[in-house]
Amino acid sequence: MKTVLKNGRILDPSQDIDLIGSLVIEHDQVVEYGKKVDERGAVEVYDCTNLWITPGLVDPHVHLREPGEEHRETIVSGTQSAAAGGFTTICCMPNTNPALDTPSLIDFIMDKAASPEAGGVFVAPVGALTVGNDGTRLTDLAALKKAGIVAASDEEHPIQDSAVMTRAMETCLQFDIPIMAHCDDTSLSAGASMNEGAYSAMLGLKGMPRSAEEIMVMRNCLLSLHTGCQLHIMRVSTWGAVEMIRQAKYLGAPVTCEICPHHFSLTEEAIGEFNPLFKTTPPLRTSLDVDMLIEGLRDGTIDCIASDHSPYANYEVQVPFEEAPFGMVGLESVVGVTLTNLTHKGVLSPLETIRKLSSAPAQILRLEAGSLKPGETPVAQVCVIDPEVTWQFDVTKTFSKGKNSPFQGMPLKGKVVLTICGNEIYRDARFDARRLAGVG
């Protein structure tokens, strides 16, 4: 079957392409794109006038919750949510129950993700760095790599012992596995529920000092510099962390990092009267942090954007602030929030926006994704975005089982209207009128 996406703005950061033209998909593959393409025999033509045609988006940091926490999310609901968010490749985190610490669990994830009920996106599993995420005994990383992990992570149980982290880096270097690190010195942050400062004092809550994040960012950067192990720092939130990563890159450490939309969009003041939807780790910080994080996005210190999609059941979230879990769902709001707060404010160009949402995370984790180049990906991975449409995010209408979002009801500008991964896996209702019959 031949499909043509017609007259859109084709943005492919992997090739620095930004042009108005059409893209042709045939036999599940991108076969051609440009100002003039061969439309003969097309069965389906989508009018993409004033829309962006981009590589399928890539989310390096998603919690699918399966196995063990299916009341929060499943591989099926999570991948459907990813498709609706424009993602065609996502990395799933190992802090499930049990943790993803054996090859058979990696097989389980891959099988489930490939099942016909699932959302049709590629799921790249991230393995546990330590057995049961206990922070002490390393997993069999060679076996996990053979089973298909693309990285290893300590996720929500950050490795505190520097000797263990050194061994982890030496081992991962040997097997060529990137480490994705949650950076948190838990001796400083334990028992805290928001950013430490005047605001936490006013609310009478224990605060997480910024140094809890920065000490571990610095330690992990230094270990990466000295071992040579590829390190990806997850969810930076303070200006100091960005500055340390800038220094580490300057020194030549193989370090990259990601940021979550809530950390460049919201400050601690959003918590208001103890609203648990705004409880995250690392916590929402200050407007100075947001300004410096945006500078880091602009100058490239921050490589990519990740949702840290963390679904919870309603009954788990609707509790007093101090008892509430950390995190929020994100897959279906990333594009709207990013375009509204970065692209439309002139922080990132459209091409740089898509780089941070697709090509950059694909390159960092060496995924076959993030490019429109024919043959670069196993099947065509394409996302179509309406950058100008204004809409209100409504979490009750999302595919994710989790409904914990601080962006509920927020007016956004920019929305995913079509996702293709081999074939169409998501189409927004407002895009229907643009779907035309074949031109014969």
The residue among 215, 67, 59 whose CA lies nearest residue 128 is 67
Q: Of 59, 101, 289, 308, which one is the catalytic site residue? A: 308
> CA 209 to CA 188: how far, in whole Å?
7
Per-residue mark of binding to Zn ion, 92-131 (x: CB under 5 A): ----------------------------------------
Q: Name the residue nearer to Zn ion (CB basis): 328 or 418.
A: 328
Report the residue number whose CB is nearest to Zn ion.
Answer: 308
Give just the sign of the alpha carbon dihedral 27, 32, 35, 40. negative
Cα angle for residues 407, 302, 426 (degrees, 5° grid): 45
Largest CA distance in the chain: 68
> CA 221 to CA 225: how far, in whole Å?
6
Q: Name the residue nearer to Zn ion (CB basis): 308 or 386.
A: 308
CA 304 to each of CA 78, 129, 214, 234, 402: distance values in angstroms, whole numbers, following the listed order: 21, 22, 19, 10, 24
CB of 199 to Zn ion, least distance (A): 24
Of 112-120, 279-287, 294-302, 306-314, the segment contacting Zn ion by CB under 5 A is 306-314
Q: Name the residue nearer to Zn ion (CB basis): 101 or 308.
A: 308
CB of 339 to Zn ion, least distance (A): 23
Question: Out of 12, 258, 308, 332, which residue is the one contacting Zn ion (CB under 5 A)?
Answer: 308
CB of 99 to Zn ion, least distance (A): 13
3 state SS of 403: coil
The residue among 405, 427, 425, 416 whose CA lies nearest residue 330 is 405
Q: Name the residue nearer to Zn ion (CB basis): 139 or 281.
A: 281
Of 22-30, 100-108, 203-211, 304-312, the segment contacting Zn ion by CB under 5 A is 304-312
> CA 229 to CA 237: how far, in whole Å?
23
Of 161-169, 270-278, 300-308, 387-395, the segment contacting Zn ion by CB under 5 A is 300-308
Size of the site for Zn ion (CB under 5 A): 1
CB of 135 to Zn ion, least distance (A): 16
Q: What CA dihedral angle connects 267, 389, 353 and 363, to 10 degrees?
A: 110
Is 184 a catalytic site residue? Answer: no
CB of 20 to Zn ion, least distance (A): 38
Contacts of 226 (CB under 8 A, 6+ apart): none
Of 110-118, 198-206, 252-260, 305-313, the segment contacting Zn ion by CB under 5 A is 305-313
Active site positions, annotated: 308
Q: Which residues bind Zn ion (CB under 5 A)?
A: 308
